[in-house]
Structure 1
Amino acid sequence: MSRNNSMDIEEFFNRLDVGENDFSGVDLSGTDLSEVDLSGINFSGADLSGGILCKTKLWGADLRDANLSGADLRGADLRVTRMESVNLENANLLEVNWHGAEIYGAYFYNTVMPDGELVTEPNSYGLSVQTYSTLASEIVRSYKVFYTDCIGFNSLC
């Protein structure tokens, strides 16, 4: 699919229903995709700006270079999602689960973060220092749990 293709919501769901999962470069700006299971979908380079994606399951999705500016993602599942260079300006990420997401180079500005923090300064590196510290602490805790679970199974760790 070529980049910046406008698609109406009916066509999108028809293609999704027949098993298509590559929607790279598609323009679905302003659409309501709330509570839809889009796990593993390819939205790289897609325009989802102004979209409503509340409680949408995007586990393992490819959102690299996507435009999610002004999108409402409250409560969305973004675990293990590829989000490099995604535009999240003016997006609402309150209560988003993005554990394991790759967010390097994501752009945050006037973005409500999962913990309710508002990023008020443009940040093209991905995270505010406070949010980075919080995520780093979560990674260390996860590693400690993983390491503890692997004691005695050195060949697997």
Structure 2
Amino acid sequence: MDLNTFNNSILCNIFLVFIFNFIRCNAGVIPSGNLGLDEKSDSKRESMHTDESSLPCWQREDYKVMGVCERCEYYETNVFQYCKVTGYKLLLKCKESNINTYKSCEASGWPIEKHFWAFEGTMIGLGIVSCSVVYFRRQMLDAETRRRVRLQIENSL
């Protein structure tokens, strides 16, 4: 196996990893789109409750999003209801009552994208390592074959 074949096998492995991940992403395995911030999901939840006094302020009045959707701490997942649902929280400020509160939200795109690129990097690294092992193993086998042929030629003379 020469260097050109080795380079071609690396490129082939990298290409296959990217094709696999492209198909996986477009098949909907990695969720995207709705981050739990749309008004439709809030209005559906509002219609499920009848007593408005027991609702959180963000369900009975307008609110402003004060932060980004972030992962809850470990202790929060056991204590607060909004963290038990998805494991993520979003800081809100209710406009009329002027109360800062949290609500549950879906994970934003960055943690998912970070895991995707970590997987990509791992697969590329694994492809390079496996190609290197195959290349050097092939070199050892070729050297052994050349040694045996040389010995056979020497013994026949």
TM-score range, shorter chain: under 0.3
Larger RCO, structures 1/2 (Cα 8 Å, 6+ apart): 2
TM-score, L = length of structure 2: 0.22
Q: Where is the strand percentage greater, Structure 1 or Structure 2?
A: 2
Q: Rg bigger for which structure?
A: 2
